[in-house]
Structure 1
Amino acid sequence: MTRHDTLKCIHEPLGDAFYYGPERLSRRYDDDEEARIQTGFDQSTYKTIFDRFDREASEGKRLFIKDMAYYIMPPDGEPATRVASLQIPKRGIGTDMNGNGSSSNGVASNGAGVLPTDTPHRTNGGSSSAESDNPTVVPLELLSKFHFAFLIRDPHYSIPSYYRCTIPPLDDITGFYEFYENESGYDELRRLFDYLRKVQYVGPYHASTVHTAPANVTNGTNGTNGAMTNPDGPDKVEICVVDADDLLDNPSAVIERFCKSVGEEYTPDMLQWPTEKDQQVANDAFAKWHGFHDDALGSKCLRPRAHKKAAKTEAEFDAEWKEKYGEKGAKIIRSAVDRNMADYRYLKKFATKI
């Protein structure tokens, strides 16, 4: 967000469709239509959001979108089918079996293949089952427009942090009055990560290796935004997974390596946001998620933490959660942590090393 001269940052836009719109995948607001309407996002569809990406990208700045994998995937591991607003019309005159033409929102297929929804897509990677394996409600041709990088955090810390936002006194601010374990997001992140590797939109190179992302990775058409047209070339999007603990221990080195991976210039002043303009950009970006980002909004810089996180036993975690959230809260947190640790450990294996 400090790079507001060259980057346009959008914070969790896909949550509008996931929670509030007519295509919502979440059941959180099924019984509270008034709350959905009051958000102003009750008419948001996945198409309106992707149209926004196209519109804002056309204004000249590179888009940086921070979002949740579970916002584009049905909860609880349910099979994914393409949402209605992103359905591609049945083939007519002027299109061919290779998918040459435009999708329903006007985005060129970029070689991903625009076929009827019951027909497997043939991707740049050559896999005829790539679309049928797609775990998201978004067609592969739209996923191909993005350069993906991943942020993970130990569930022992992320789960209690989220749980705190769903109980008094914060629940009246966030509007989330119940903790949903299926909103932890690790399972969805792992499945999206594995799928993008399978269709060769990320990897096989890793951000910890000598290989680096090309200098010309900028927002734009396929081939320059990270979804390279040549799947066998040297300029694929490398695997870039950042662990929050590494970031907090050594922010300058981790952000510098992240920038190198995604094709942005690193400068130390990226880690500071003391000006009124910086603060306003952040306030505007976080405005719709009341209560979730108060700590970030109260900060002005990112410095290494004074001491690395002390190791704790599981019994120590349980005791800490019981003290803060009571016996019931501690059991809820423990269940979610245990459910997500395997996926976290799996993704942790890919975390960038400095």
Structure 2
Amino acid sequence: MSNKPIFVATHPRACSTAFERVFMTRRDTLQCIHEPFGDAFYFGPERLSVRYEHDEKARRESGFSESTYRTVFDRIARESAEGKRIFIKDIIHYLVPPDGAPASIAPSLIQHTLPKRGIGTNGDSAQQQKKTPYNTPAEPGNPTVVPTSLLAGFHFTFLIRDPHYSIPSYYRCTIPPLDAVTGFYEFYPSEAGYDELRRVFDYLRQVGLVGPKVASVENGDHRNGDASSNGATTNGANGDHGHGVEICVIDADDLLDHPETVIRAFCRSVGVEYDPAMLKWDTEEDQKIAKAAFEKWKGFHEDAIESTGLKPRCERKSHKSEEEFDAEWTQRFGEKGARIIRETVDRNMADYLYLKQFALKV
């Protein structure tokens, strides 16, 4: 069983912070690191996002204007040295150039350093046309700015949510009045995150860092995933069949309806001892630690901060027609908002449904 740092790769508004809070209760054996790669993605000299490109003041005041992908990895290494297993929950598109742009390795993660920042190009004219983010080499097939050798240091798992719910939740964080709290004053469809999650998922399967087995809720019962059917190999990067890392995909609806079953299965898959007490966090210390961890992303995690545990929701999610969703979004966000949400949901549904076929069956 792997004892690597656990990396829960997800997209925005996937109920991932509530999921993370479950594992923040295991302070005896786990060290949780909350969304570390956003520091480099948004604010540092290697930033991939243009959200704060013309707002140097915001980048400086974030406290992360000097953060690079190397400094994030250095932090993970320091915290690993404390002896506890690392648990990371992060938005995977923080490792991937936006808008489907091809990736090249972040300058801080290769041997030599290159000119400071910008969403630039490689040296020759052909590479300039590709508009890779840095003037650095790329790894064939790797959609991230992180070398595969570093990706191999993590035990990857995945958390997804139906775009009909995650997209309007994210849109709400980018309009008044909440935008004044989050500092996100515009909705970027490119930050939905499903395309990046799918591409990283497929790449990790292709190089054997996850799979071919698919995690199950039953102890020792594995469904054979179609890890060979989409161009993926069943061998690990070093011929060791994925280091025993199962394909473990959690759907947020299953988590909300069956928290104990899902958390128990997840723990079994990643090699963490399950304890029913993980589903409750109502002490003063629990809340203090959560507030400190989520401080840098104000406005995004209030529900998770104010929660005291994870219980099955009282009512299952009701089925709605697309027309009912459109009417609900129009009522809440106006015609323009509803149109943006609809376009973004439609653009991401295929990727969500693709990933969902690998999800734990509850």
Aligned pairs for 1:287-302 (under 5 A) are: 287-302=295-310
Shift of 1:8: 0.8
Shift of 1:201: 0.4
Aligned counterparts of 2:253 and 2:147: Cα–Cα separation in 1: 33
Aligned counterparts of 1:229 and 1:79: Cα–Cα separation in 2: 22
Please point out which of 345, 348, 361 is paired with 1:353: 361
Residue in 1 that maps onto 2:196: 188
Shift of 1:68: 1.0
Q: Is the 8 A contact 2:210 2:242 kept in 1?
A: no
Shift of 1:232: 3.6
TM-score normalised by structure 2 residue count: 0.81
Please point out which of 197, 205, 213 is paired with 1:197: 205
Q: Is the 8 A contact 1:205 1:239 kept in 2?
A: yes
Matched, 1:50 2:73: yes
Matched, 1:33 2:41: no
Residue in 1 that maps onto 2:105: 82
Q: What is the CA deviation profile of residues 41-100 of structure 1, one whole-angstrom value per residue up to 9, with x for unaligned ones?
A: 00000000001111110111111000011000000000000011011359xxxxxxxxxx
Other structure's SS at 2:210 match = coil
Please point out which of 255, 261, 266 is paired with 1:253: 261
Q: What is the CA deviation profile of residues 224-246 of structure 1, one whole-angstrom value per residue up to 9, with x for unaligned ones?
A: xxx97863458520000000000
Other structure's SS at 1:297 match = helix
Matched, 1:62 2:85: yes
Residue in 1 that maps onto 2:142: 134
Specify the code of the residue in structure 2 equivalent to 1:38: E
Q: What is the CA deviation profile of residues 93-112 of structure 1, one whole-angstrom value per residue up to 9, with x for unaligned ones?
A: xxxxxxxxxxxxxxxxxxxx
Residue in 2 that maps onto 1:99: none
Q: Is the 8 A contact 1:251 1:303 kept in 2?
A: yes
Q: Is the 8 A contact 1:205 1:211 kept in 2?
A: no
Residue in 1 that maps onto 2:251: 243
Please point out which of 143, 160, 175 is paired with 1:152: 160
Change (3 A) 1:287 1:196: same
Regions of 4+ moved over 2 Å: 209-213, 227-235
Aligned counterparts of 2:240 and 2:172: Cα–Cα separation in 1: 46
TM-score normalised by structure 1 residue count: 0.83
Shift of 1:267: 0.8
Unaligned runs of 5+ in 1: 91-116, 121-130, 214-226
Specify the code of the residue in structure 2 equivalent to 1:199: V
Q: Taking CA–CA contacts closer than 8 Å with sequence separation of 6 or more, which of the two structures ends up with the larger relative contact order?
A: 2
Other structure's SS at 1:9 match = strand
Change (3 A) 1:37 1:310: same
Other structure's SS at 1:67 match = strand
Aligned pairs for 1:90-129 (under 5 A) are: 118=137
Shift of 1:344: 0.1
Aligned counterparts of 1:74 and 1:352: Cα–Cα separation in 2: 29
Aligned counterparts of 2:242 and 2:76: Cα–Cα separation in 1: 27
* RMSD, aligned CA: 1.9
Other structure's SS at 1:148 match = strand
Q: Is the 8 A contact 2:211 2:241 kept in 1?
A: no
Aligned counterparts of 1:310 and 1:286: Cα–Cα separation in 2: 30
Matched, 1:278 2:286: yes
Residue in 2 that maps onto 1:303: 311
Aligned pairs for 1:164-179 (under 5 A) are: 164-179=172-187
Other structure's SS at 1:149 match = strand
Aligned pairs for 1:203-242 (under 5 A) are: 203-208=211-216, 211=220, 231-232=239-240, 235-242=243-250
Q: Is the 8 A contact 2:32 2:87 kept in 1?
A: yes
Between Structure 1 and Structure 2, the one with more helix by share is 2
Shift of 1:210: 5.7
Please point out which of 61, 74, 94 is paired with 1:71: 94
Please point out which of 316, 319, 322 is paired with 2:330: 322
Other structure's SS at 1:145 match = coil
Q: Is the 8 A contact 2:160 2:249 kept in 1?
A: yes
Change (3 A) 1:228 1:199: closer
Percentage of pairs with the same residue: 64
Aligned counterparts of 1:235 and 1:76: Cα–Cα separation in 2: 32
Residue in 2 that maps onto 1:112: none
Residue in 1 that maps onto 2:46: 23
Q: What is the CA deviation profile of residues 134-179 of structure 1, one whole-angstrom value per residue up to 9, with x for unaligned ones?
A: 1100001100000000000000000000111001111010000000
Other structure's SS at 1:3 match = coil
Other structure's SS at 2:244 match = coil
Q: Is the 8 A contact 2:49 2:98 kept in 1?
A: yes
Residue in 1 that maps onto 2:20: none
Aligned counterparts of 2:309 and 2:30: Cα–Cα separation in 1: 19
Unaligned runs of 5+ in 2: 1-23, 114-135, 223-234
Other structure's SS at 1:25 match = coil
Specify the code of the residue in structure 1 equivalent to 2:306: G
Shift of 1:334: 0.6
Residue in 2 that maps onto 1:8: 31
Specify the code of the residue in structure 1 equivalent to 2:349: M
